[in-house]
């Protein structure tokens, strides 16, 4: 049986892979890795890191010039950061809107 902490570690790895591949200039691969991580964080109920992933997905959408999607993802991130009272996350996301 897979433990929750194991899922969190795999999710963190997927997110880091996504950010890394975004920096390497592969937004499609970045999106895929970020979406994998998002699904895992949602499965374990980690609201804060779910917000972090939505923020990163918004950045990827902006990179491929999908500005409407970028705004929607950033708004989702902002709402989730507000739900967990993460003011740093709010500020970071507001800077991406």
Per-residue pLDDT of 3-39, as tens digits, reads: 878 899 999 999 999 999 999 999 999 999 999 999 9
Tell me what the mean pLDDT of segment 35-47 comes to.
95
The pLDDT of 43-71, averaged and rounded, is 96
Q: State the alpha helices, DSSP H only, in the chain.
A: 4-23, 27-44, 47-63, 67-83, 87-96
Domains of the chain: 4-96 (1.25.40.10)
pLDDT-based confidence at residue 1 (cuts at 50, 70, 90): low
The answer to whether 21 touches 62, Cβ cutoff 8 Å, is: no
- Residues 73-94 pLDDT 10s: 999 999 999 999 999 999 989 9
Is residue 15 a contact partner of residue 53, using CB atoms and an 8 Å limit?
yes
């Amino acid at each position: 049986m897979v433990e929750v902490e194991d899922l969190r570690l795999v999710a963190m790895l997927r997110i880091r892979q996504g950010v890394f591949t975004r920096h390497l200039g592969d937004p499609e691969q970045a999106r895929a890795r970020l979406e994998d991580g998002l699904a895992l964080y949602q499965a374990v109920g980690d609201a804060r890191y779910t917000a972090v992933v939505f923020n990163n997905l918004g950045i990827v959408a902006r990179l491929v010039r999908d500005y409407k999607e970028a705004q929607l993802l950033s708004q989702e991130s902002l709402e989730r950061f507000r739900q967990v009272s993460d003011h740093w996350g709010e500020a970071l996301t507001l800077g991406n809107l």
